[in-house]
Structure 1
Amino acid sequence: MTLSTTGRAPRRLSGRSGELAVLEKLLALLAAGHGTTLVLTAPPGLGRSALALHTAEGHRAGPVLRTTAAPAERLLPYSGLHALLCSAPDALPLPVRPAEVLRSGLAPAALLDLLTALGARRPLLVCVDDVHLWDPRSRAALTFAVRRLTARAGVAVLLTATDGRDGAHGRNGAEALSGLPVLRLGPLDAVDADELLTELTPCHIGSAVREELRREAAGNPRLLVSLVQHLTPRQLSGRQPLPHPLPGGEDLLDAYAAPLAALPDDTRALLLLVAAAEEHEPEGAGADAGLLLRAGRLAGIAPGRTAPAESAGVLRGAGSRIRFTHPLTRRAVLRDAPLDRRLAAHRLLAAALEGPDLALPRLVQRACAADGYHPALADALALAAVAPAPHADRAGALARAAALSPDETLRATRFAAAAEHAWLAGEPGQARVLLARVRTVPAPGHAHYVRGLLALRDGPAADAGQALLTAAALLAPHDTVRTVHALLGAAEAAWAAGDARGCLDAMSRVPASPDDPALDRYRAGICALLAGRPEEGDALLRGYVARVMGSGTADPGPGPGHASDPGHDSAPGSRPGPVPGDPAPLLRAGIAALVVGEVDIACRAGARALAAVRAHGPDALLPQALEHLAYGELRAGRHARARVHAHEGLAAADRLGQRNAAAHLHAVLALAASAEGDARTCAAHAQAARAGAGPHGLLHATTLASWAVARAELAVGRSAEAAALLAPLVGPGPRPGHFASRTALVPCFVEAAVLAGRGADARAAVEAFAAWCARTADPHAPAQLARCRALLAPDTEAAARYEEALAHHDRSGGDFERARTQLLYGHWLRRRRRPRAARTPLRDALASFERCGALLWCDRVRGELRAAGEPAPANPAHTTTPAAPLLLLTPQQQRVARCVAEGATNREVARRLSVSTRTVDHHLRNVFAALGVRSRTELARLLAAPGPW
């Protein structure tokens, strides 16, 4: 194998920020004269030696005694202490010569006195790497001294060792170090592994290659470095196939295999069976103990022979499963076993898998035992890889079938099918690795289909749409099911990108199926809406919702980009028939219900879809099910429920590598925070949504994030800022906002625009909103329309409009929207010098906001109540205490002072607070007099001083 010339040593310790902080604190304490002791433990290759070297090089306040254990000298008494003392710098006086230590030894008490004396002169760092490999006498003397060093001795001791027992030489080491402070290193996570890969080589690393390297390294940085160094630039970029198995890391695997040499022969034979059984299981799942017992009996191994491996810390049992304590130990076992023994182990496991319900795992084990191509076995595997087997098992079986297939075209088709099931199982990385093994040119439509699904959840929306359109064109002649899936996925990609024309084009190409009339109704309804026929579209979508929600089982058709199980049974193009519990139609029903305004039905559809995903899968749909349900609850005004579902969905999206779903869920969380949270939380989620959505062209998520920020600005009274954010999003034509969200943003925009003195800008938006309200079933729409008209109405009509809005709220329910109407009504009454009348709706608004948890809005209501002459008690859990100077001001003067301190002009303050410029001038003069300042600059400096205001 040609070694890569592109690899280089990493410039920094990736993924060790927490450990580095601990070690830096150790050095800081030592520099101040306070000693401490720390033992870094980790399996081989995780970087404990690199951390020890980094710490030794970072000690500048005094001398360093540093050594690395030499395993070849561990039988020589006091060889470890001899090496440690030989590392002393020439300027350090040693009362004991190293040669004398090697000849006659060094008593533990004498070593303690020596370290104490050296630490009294200057802060001393003692660093021993791999102390578990020291000779026993040196290790005993050092640990004796370490336990008796006081913090004032000026000596810090840093030791590294393997964690747990690793055979004969590790057991005594573990016992000798017991009781000392320990910092255990864990494997690198995916993000840190990616950073290390980027650091290792300047050439581009393909996404599938990254996934394979991360999987093979199992978070071990040393192994990751070795794997990269053994690959060529063409292999790293994905232009040339990766070798299987990947070369590199042989010395590291030797370290994991070393403890196994001392185990009995029959135990090591069982270890090979465990490793072979785990080979086709999900990572970390372990092997079935009953299967191992039967296979061991066939091999003539007595029961209970795993006990020595468990005592050595190599295996551990958990219920009915047995697994290796570390995945690299399993790989070391497989690597060290000769080929004939590995194949024999798989044959034993296949023979032990008896019964018709074990046909698939039996065939997988037979495939592992096959040598070379085996068309008949490959066909049998492909036929057996059907439901109810889990998607992960089907992916593994189809991958084995592909590897056994001599025909290149059939091999590519089976790798693509395996990639699809890996994606459905929630393993997008494995799906990319399998797609990289599709070598036919041109690639089959199935491969484009899976690439499109992957990009739809974790890639640019435009790329996903094009891949899915290509897949649909290639699959149309022989695979109707996936053609429909691909076109609906392309429509979803266009929808997410705000491309109404692209969405209409993809939806109009979805073929009508006589077996699936409900899906055709959904397609026709979406197309009618996008083509400007809203009444026709609403009627069709309502019929679709009634069809899906009215039956006991959902319609089996595939969803718009929601990749339910298409049923890969006997052939890639087979028609699976109805799929019980398929969540995709329920997700479509939720979308349709939201489009026509049936918010409560949308929530019920979302809840049923979530239950179906949890019961039947696929795992890949979990973030979307939670996202749809969260958004439905948000539209219903139930922000707390929306927040709970969105947080769960965000965790699922992160686990499954679905960054597009994460961006949408961040936007939902930002909207929830704009009501019940605080401005800082809202801004953080909005920023996360934009950061994820921007590069991938997800206009829908960025629009929702901007709406959330604007609503948070509105909640704290910054109406001009809110209007500026919303104005570009609500107008007709090619605007920055998403076409499907314009009507939902109108009530917020009208409120912000009117309060900011831009009422003329809002009139056209209200007329468009009225047209939508005439046909929607959204229960909040009539009240929101009446509120918008009240904001724009002359004084003679406004009160009646507000009363009309409140009457609609009484019929529709929803504390949040009703409270907003009451707040605006009270504000209008107060501005008309009717403070007594204003207090009633304001009190009701405060109670409603508190009841629905909209704490961000409560402060605004309290300010209005104070301005209306009624002291409103502050919420100690949410509000802050003004600084002492502000206590001298009235509530209105405080608001004026804060606005001016932020840099607003008197005219801008007047628009923000809905008062005249003359009133602002009057309040500002009184603020200057009360606070003793003479300019706006002094006022800003005073309010910017540290304090809880």
Structure 2
Amino acid sequence: MQEAFRYGRAAGRDDAPLRTELARLVPGLPAEIAAAVLGLAGGDAGVLREVAGALTAEQIRGAQPPPCTLPDGPLGRRCRAALAVLPARTRCALLLAATDPDLAPGELLAAGAAEDLAPAERAGLVAVTAGAVQFTPSVLRAIVYYDAPLAGRRSAHELLARVLDRRGERLRALVHRAAAAGGADETLSRELRAAAAEGPPRTAAAAYRQAAELTTDPAAAAGSLVAAARQAWLAGERQQAGLLLRRVSRRPEVRARARGLAGEMELREGDPVAARDILLDAAAHLVPHDVPAALEALLLAGEAVHLAGEHGRYGEVARRALALRRGDEAPPVALAFQQVAGLAGMYAGDHATAFARLRDVLRLAARVDEPAALIRAAGAAVLVGDDPRARALAGRAVALARDRGEVTLVPQGLEMAAFAGLAAGHHEAATAAATEGAALARATGQPALAQSHLGVLAVLAALVGDRESCVLRIREAGAHDTAQGPGEARALCQWALALLDLVEDRPRATVARLGALVVAASGRGNLIVQVAATPHLVEAVWRCDPPTPAAGRDPHAAALDRAFEPFDRWTAGTGQPAWLALRARCRALRAAEPQTAEEHFREALRQHGRGDADFARAHTELLFGRDLRRRRRPGAAREHLRSAVETFRLLRAEPWAAQADVELRAAGAPVPPDPAGARELTAQQERIARLVADGATNREIAQQLFLSPRTIDHHLRNVFARLGVRSRTELARRLS
């Protein structure tokens, strides 16, 4: 517990602005020192500046531990002066509250200290809510704890251990007993390890760390440190996990487990190739000692292969993983093996095997309640085109991860939810998932995952022609190609730029971008993006030069054949209306005979009718209407173009509505009026307006939506103009 303040921070808080400020104040600060300073600051820029200004040269180099409390500067003196005038009983109550960040008011009441907090509440130093005691500023918690004498801290831990034990909080009680211990205690160390196995990650990390301190057995200490690091990683405390891994001994079986966790962390930080090598090495050393850990390392190595865009190497990983199978595994492990087999088939082009194994994953998912396994199952659902199942599994995984305190897994589950929403045409849900996912990924030390979320947001913005938001999100992602080609985030950003070209009527530019992305060298590229972007490549080629019976093969035909053939087989295997509709649409755009094209377009609309993807249906009607008009059938075209205009307007996809407007006029029909200011604001404007009405500043909105404050100001001026309001107060009243 003594280290809680040094490394603790609010789960899910994105410290990006303060991290930038800290880098400006103290360039080159080691990552673990920076994390400690940010955790101590608790989101307060004033605290950050005071702590950063007091760092010693040894701390800046990492030769000494980071600060654990506020130095004796202006803010520190004011805080200490405010505490000094409080009654002694109030200061004792504050020490109890500071000793355990998770202490609830009921637990303080059981310790006989709740009423003594009243003077501190009146002074504005704490706020007692239904679930916690919040210090203001948050650094005050560290000041109260670390300014207290060692004997006082130990007494507080002993009292809380008794209170929590009586209330059935055994793990927390054990952690407090350990914090009060004066030396090695093998019995308590064993009790901590046993109880931590069932505890929430943040408390379990503290328990394992204390267990390592209390034992004289080097092997037990090393194992406890690795377990503490994994729990800290799950709790979103990336730097704490890294520090713990550095303390691990060189015992082979423990070092391999540490390497497995280090590889997982490397994967989320953005170097999938390095992560792959670390994970494969860890798996090789783990097989003789810990088969489940070896399998986990191989699963992550396979994910690294995917993220690096080198899926030609997946077969090697799959063979090593499947060699561990015995046939009597529990559902989560059986699920993992089926997923490996399914992915191996998918990457090898054996769709029959891939779909069979991945659907086995979905059946097994009903018997699993582990967030990580459910996230993998959601990924399997995405790969077989079952987007509704993917959303449901991802939602279940996110809810379980939140409930268990496994905050690192939450943005991973949200990534699957965002992919599923994007594929299914549920753009608002996908935007919400990716926006939260990007913030949580950053806050939990997973920048590569944040890049993927931002890539999804860029694609969503491009789909509706929001160039400014799309470009800003691409810049924010900052994703680069790997040595093997575009990784997942970079592929998403390239797809978004290609979509902007298509929306803005530059189909040749779209062909150039998507040709390089979709028609990659054998074994290279990003499988999901290659499949999802193929309909846009087909459309772009068609818009460059629609096929005719006499035209012969166009210069893009061979490349398009290579892209379309796997897409055609994959969509047929899904059996899902949304994907079958896109398959039929693509066949229509590739058909040279008018009658064949029309049959495929009508099949696409029939499949759209079985699903609920309004945007995709409107897009198909736009292309069908454009095709009919070009074939000199304006009367038949008008029905589809009018429907496309109305749907795009309702969905606030203005650039697509404008394209349909042009086609409808060319077909000789008046454009239908914009329905009743049906929605006066675009989706982005409405989101910003709601945040303004809730009291958020432009800078806060910019951070939340991954846009610049200048862009927020621009959108807000348009909101005021559209709604006829002149102030934020009027806007709040209007929206209420």
- Short-chain TM bin: 0.7 to 0.9
Correspondence for 1:490: 301
- Judge conservation of contact 1:465–1:493 (CA < 8 Å) in 2: yes
1:597-646 CA-partner distances (Å, limit 9, x unpaired): 33333333333333433444522221122221221122222223322332
* Cα 1:864/1:255, change in 2 over 3 Å: same
Q: Residues 757 and 396 from structure 1, CA distance in 2 versus in 1: closer, same or farther, beyond 3 angstroms?
A: same
Please give the alpha-carbon distance, in whole angstroms, between the structure 1 residues aligned to 2:493 and 2:421. Answer: 17
How far residue 737 of structure 1 moved from its aligned partner, in angstroms, is: 4.0
Task: Show the counterpart of 2:312.
Answer: 501
Do 2:272 and 2:304's aligned partners in 1 also have CA atoms closer than 8 Å? yes
Residue in structure 2 matching 1:361, options 168, 172, 196: 172
Q: What is the CA distance between 1:796 and its match in structure 2? A: 4.6
Q: Quick one: structure 1 residues 534 and 421, their matched pair in 2 at CA, closer, same or farther if it must change by over 3 Å?
A: same
| Alpha-carbon distance in 2 for matches of 1:441, 1:385 | 22
Question: Which residue, out of 242, 249, 266, partners 1:432?
Answer: 242
Aligned: 1:515 with 2:515: no
Change (3 A) 1:760 1:768: farther
Q: Offset at 1:863? A: 0.9
Which one has a bigger Cα radius of gyration?
Answer: 1
- Change in Cα spacing, 1:214 to 1:858, as seen in structure 2 (3 Å) is same
> How many Å separate the matches in 1 of 2:653 and 2:197?
49
Of the candidates 707, 725, 734, which is equivalent to residue 513 of structure 2?
Answer: 725
Instruction: Give the match's secondary structure for 2:168.
Output: helix
SS at match of 1:249: coil
Report what 1:340 is aligned to: 151
CA distance in 2, matches of 1:810, 1:251: 68
Alpha-carbon deviation of 1:859?
Answer: 1.0
Q: Which amino acid aligns with 2:55?
A: V
1:624 corresponds to 2:412 = yes
Q: Deviations over 1:647-701 (max 9, x none)?
A: 3333433443432222222222233233345333333334434x14658986122
Q: Choose the corresponding residue for 1:648, options 420, 426, 436.
A: 436
Whole-Å Cα distance in 1 between the matches of residues 136 and 312 of structure 2?
A: 54
User: 2:588 aligned with 1:790, yes or no?
Assistant: yes
User: What is the distance in 1 between the residues matched to 2:248 and 2:436?
Assistant: 35
Within 2, Cα distance between the matches of 1:836 and 1:745?
A: 31
Measure, in 2, the Cα distance between the counterparts of 1:772 and 1:321.
51
Deviations 1:860-909 (A, max 9, x none): 000111122223146477999xxxxxxxxxxxxxxxxxxxxxxxxxxxxx
Residues 244, 412 of structure 1: alpha-carbon distance in 2 compared, 3 angstrom cutoff: farther
Alignment check: 8 A CA contact 1:209 1:433 kept: no
Q: 1:878 to 1:700 in 2, by over 3 A?
A: farther
Distance in 2, Cα, partners of 1:849 & 1:424: 42
Cα offset, 1:394, TM superposition: 0.8
- Structure 1 counterpart SS, 2:540: helix
Distance 1:534 1:226, change over 3 A: same
Which of 744, 751, 761 pairs up with 2:556? 761
What TM-score do the two structures reach when normalised by structure 2? 0.79
Q: Could you tell me how far 1:460 is from its partner in structure 2?
A: 1.8
Q: Which residue of 2 aligns with 1:465?
A: 276
- 27, 37, 41: which is aligned to 1:213? 37
1:833 to 632, 639, 644: 632
Pick which of 780-789 and 587-596 moved more: 780-789
Question: 1:9-36: CA deviations, max 9, x gaps?
Answer: xxxxxxxxxxxxxxxxxxxxxxxxxxxx
Counterpart of 1:543 in structure 2 is: 360
Partner secondary structure for residue 724 of structure 1: helix
Give the SS at the match of 1:869. coil
Secondary structure, in 3 states, of the residue corresponding to 2:632? coil
Q: 1:749: how far off?
A: 0.8
Query: 1:409, CA displacement in angstroms?
Result: 4.2
Q: Is the aligned partner of 1:865 residue 2:660?
A: no
Residues 255-294 of structure 1 correspond to what in structure 2 (within 5 A)? 255-275=78-98, 277-278=99-100, 281=101, 285=102, 287-294=103-110
Pick closer, same or farther for the CA change 1:683–1:194 going to 2, 3 Å.
closer
Where in structure 2 are the equivalents of 1:274-673 lying within 5 Å?
Answer: 274-275=97-98, 277-278=99-100, 281=101, 285=102, 287-295=103-111, 304-319=115-130, 321-355=132-166, 357-387=168-198, 389-438=199-248, 444-510=255-321, 511-513=324-326, 514-516=328-330, 517-548=334-365, 551=366, 553-554=367-368, 581-616=369-404, 618-673=406-461
Q: Which letter does structure 2 place at the counterpart of 1:867?
A: A
Partner of 1:843: 642
Cα shift at 1:814: 3.4
Query: Is contact 2:68–2:142 with CA below 8 Å preserved after alignment?
Result: no
Q: Does the Cα contact within 8 Å between 2:196 and 2:207 map onto a contact in 1?
A: yes
State the distance in 2 between where 1:249 and 1:683 align.
Answer: 42
Q: Is the 8 A contact 1:347 1:366 kept in 2?
A: yes
Letter in 2 for 1:728: A
After superposition, the Cα gap between the structure-2 partners of 1:702 and 1:410, relative to the gap in structure 1 and judged at 3 Å, is same
Cα gap change, 1:781/1:338 in structure 2, threshold over 3 Å: closer, same or farther? closer
SS of match in other structure, 1:357: coil
Say if 2:469 is the partner of 1:681: yes
Deviation of 1:498 (Å)? 0.9
User: Corresponding residue for 1:190?
Assistant: 15
- 1:502 is displaced (CA, Å) by 3.5
SS in 1 for 2:577: coil
Separation in structure 1 between the aligned mates of residue 681 and residue 77 of structure 2, nearest angstrom:
61
- Check conservation: 2:539, 2:589, Cα contact below 8 A: yes
2 CA distance for matches of 1:199 and 1:582? 41
Partner of 1:887: none
TM-score, structure 1 normalization: 0.62
CA distance in 1, matches of 2:584, 2:468: 32
Partner SS, residue 205 of structure 1: coil
Q: Write the letter of the residue equivalent to 2:497.
A: V
Q: Unaligned stretches of 5+ in structure 2?
A: 1-12, 547-553, 683-736
The 1:189–1:489 alpha-carbon spacing in structure 2 relative to 1, beyond 3 Å, is closer
Paired residues of 1:675 and 1:856 also in contact (CA < 8 A): no
Name the counterpart of 1:821. Answer: 620
Identity across aligned pairs (percent)? 36
- Which shows bigger deviation, 816-825 or 721-730? 816-825
Contact 2:457 2:473 in 1 (8 A): yes
Query: Alpha carbon RMSD of aligned pairs, Å?
Result: 3.4
- How many positions carry a matched residue from both structures? 645
Any stretches of 5+ residues in structure 1 without a counterpart?
1-187, 298-302, 555-580, 881-949
User: How many Å apart are 1:237 and its aligned residue?
Assistant: 4.6
CA distance in 1, matches of 2:681, 2:22: 46
**Aligned residue type for 2:301:** A
Distance in 1 between residues matched to 2:127 and 2:569, nearest whole Å: 67
In structure 1, how many angstroms separate the alpha carbons of the residues matched to 2:567 and 2:645?
Answer: 27
Cα distance in 2 for residues equivalent to 1:192 and 1:592: 36
Q: Which structure ranks higher in relative contact order (CA pairs < 8 Å, sequence separation ≥ 6)?
A: 2
Distance in 1, matches of 2:628 and 2:14, equals: 58
For 1:322 and 1:815, locate their aligned partners in 2 and report how far apart those are by CA, in whole Å. 48
2-side partners of 1:840 and 1:215: how far apart?
Answer: 60
Q: Contact 2:40 / 2:69 at 8 angstroms: preserved in 1? A: no
SS for the counterpart of 1:426 is: coil
Query: Residues 750 and 369 (structure 1 numbering): CA distance in 2 closer, same or farther, change over 3 Å?
Result: same
Q: What amino acid is aligned across from residue 194 of structure 1 in structure 2?
A: R
- For residues 785 and 304 of structure 1, what CA distance do their matches in structure 2 show? 68
2:428 and 2:90 map into 1 onto residues whose CA distance is 55
Structure 1 counterpart of 2:239, which letter?
G
Distance 1:504 1:322 in 2: 53
